[in-house]
Chain A
């Protein structure tokens, strides 16, 4: 049973797969010049998008408990640096 693909993971893994594909296409060298440049442009943009996504992430730590009427309560938890 396949598990739920997360948004970040889907875009990251899919992006890396596409980058791999682009490298293979450029390696084969069959694509005409103009197309190779388009492939390169797509690859550079993808790599940049991934880098930005990774750097934009911010840390979140919370705890989850069952409240009185059985509803979920999420509260922030602090972990000072060692």
Chain B
């Protein structure tokens, strides 16, 4: 086997490449990165796709008839021939011309990747994670410059004062953008302890949005443990990042409105629960009260009296019948019967009397017992009502006062310092709530040195 020198090897490879039909008239599509224009007028750059890259050189002559200025991140179609740079032993493309990859080509690439990822189940609903209702720390992957992050901050300040956001600054277009997003996602998932992530950028051309259509970003988003909200471009723009994310927001501002509820809604909600509980409790008390009253009128109590008086009545009838039968008997049997009659009379009367005394005592005991029970119940009820009133923050309100709270923060207001002219406050009155705006503030000292009744109107 003949031993070659390096230059012989490289020359051989150059010859092989030059005889290959395809490599001699190439058209290659990819993204420009690391482009450098030398004083010589030659332009060296790398052409890459999501998995590979190759180096290219466009000599001065070819550069002059380009109809655009190539810059990093642009998607282009390069035509030329492949060769080996013999000194360096490096495979490269000698570029004759470069043309911008039209929207059509970019879109075709987008559709192709989207369908492939869809088939692999990356967009499946079951993979979508739940967005937390009230995230404590929100991670935002976007550019620090530009209006997007400023809009999000202002929207969140209006909706939910006291939010916490951690921004992961990335470039949102150009060749390094996709990789920066992937790094940010990894960082967020490893250390930054966020509860939700928003990946967002403003509107742009399909080329500007390409990083969000890259496979590397798609894979990174789907691998994220933390739920991801994607808000890329205008409402009408759909990127692969949107499809693979756990929630797509039409725009970055919409994402801000989705990620946190309005704090004033939460506070009103709590107020609603408090009032609901109070009304229900008062209702339960009223029910108990009426049950008690109802109990006292129940026939079984009155019946007690009824049973006793009917028993007494029966006794009267018996004694009357006894009397009359005895008189009938004694009419025809003189002395013996008279004595017998006497004894019967005395013993039955004593029985009758004894019975009625017992019954009388029973009735009184029943009555006493009942009233004792009733007063016990009433006492218990009054004690509980008192406890309720003590608890009820609005008790004061019922006695004609009002309770104020700041609509935004929900804090109770007790002094002028907490107020400013134009501040929105919520007034709690006995029969409802009123929202108002402060018109004028009169501190105590001002009032004191004014004469009575001459308050400035």
Contact = CB atoms under 8 A, between A and B. Distances in A.
Contacts of A65: 168-169
A74 B183 CA distance: 15
Contact of A3 (B161, B166, B226, B285): B226
Interface string A1-26: 11111111100110010011011001
Interface residues of B, number: 60
Contacts of B281: 26, 36-37, 40
Contacts of A58: 162
Nearest to B131: A3
Given A9-B195, A51-B267, A54-B410, A41 B391 contact: yes
B388 A37 contact: yes
B125 to A, nearest CB: 14
Contacts, number: 150
Contacts of A27: 280
B2 interface: no
Interface string B155-191: 0010001111111110000000000000100011001
A29 interface: yes
Contacts of A61: 153, 164-165, 167
A33 to B, nearest CB: 5
A23 B280 contact: yes
A19 B410 contact: no
A22 B165 CA distance: 34
Contacts of B263: 54
Contact of B277 (A13, A43, A51): A43
Interface stretch (B10-18, B133-141, B434-442): B133-141
A63 B166 contact: yes
Interface of B: 129-130, 132-137, 139, 144, 149-150, 153-154, 157, 161-169, 183, 187-188, 191-192, 195, 225-227, 263, 266-267, 269-271, 273-274, 276-278, 280-281, 283-285, 287-288, 381, 384, 387-388, 391, 393, 409-411
Given A12-B266, A61-B164, A62-B167, 12 more contacts: A1-B225, A3-B226, A6-B195, A26-B281, A29-B284, A36-B281, A37-B388, A54-B263, A59-B162, A62-B165, A65-B168, A72-B192
Interface of A: 1-9, 12-13, 16, 19-20, 22-23, 26-27, 29, 31, 33-34, 36-37, 39-41, 43-44, 47, 50-51, 54-66, 72, 74, 77, 79, 81-82
